Amino acid sequence: MALDGRRRGTAYGRMTDTLSSVFAALADPTRRRILAMLLEDDMAVTDVAEPFETSLAAISKHLAILAAAGLISQEKRGRVKWCKLEPDALREASVWMVSFGLVEPVNLDAFERFLTQELNLPSEG
């Protein structure tokens, strides 16, 4: 058994590693804001970086962490690298939290409305 109590090579160990990556990625407010932006549509890396007062290199590092956690995917189209939200990792984290009975299941539509309101993003419709 590993020092942290996980059994390596088991489904539980893989799930724990995935959840750890997801929660670590979500711990940063810049990465949460990026996810909120990607709720609307796929975005080019340069467009993701535009509203932030930080370097493109710093945003690229945030995107790499989100991609490693499975929260986004990245695809190169011509010369442009695009980012897309991958909600399955969020669903897995939600299922894990709900299993403790302390958290209600996440309604992704309500979550989108909340993020839009909190971040003052333009709403659809």
CA dihedral 52, 125, 75, 11 (to 10 degrees): 100
pLDDT in tens, 19-31: 899 999 999 999 9
* Mean pLDDT calculated for residue range 74-87: 95
Provide the whole-model pTM.
0.69
**Which of the four pLDDT bands, split at 50, 70 and 90, describes residue 47?**
very high
Confidence at 93, pLDDT banded by 50, 70, 90: confident
Give the chain's domains with CATH numbers.
11-118 (1.10.10.10)
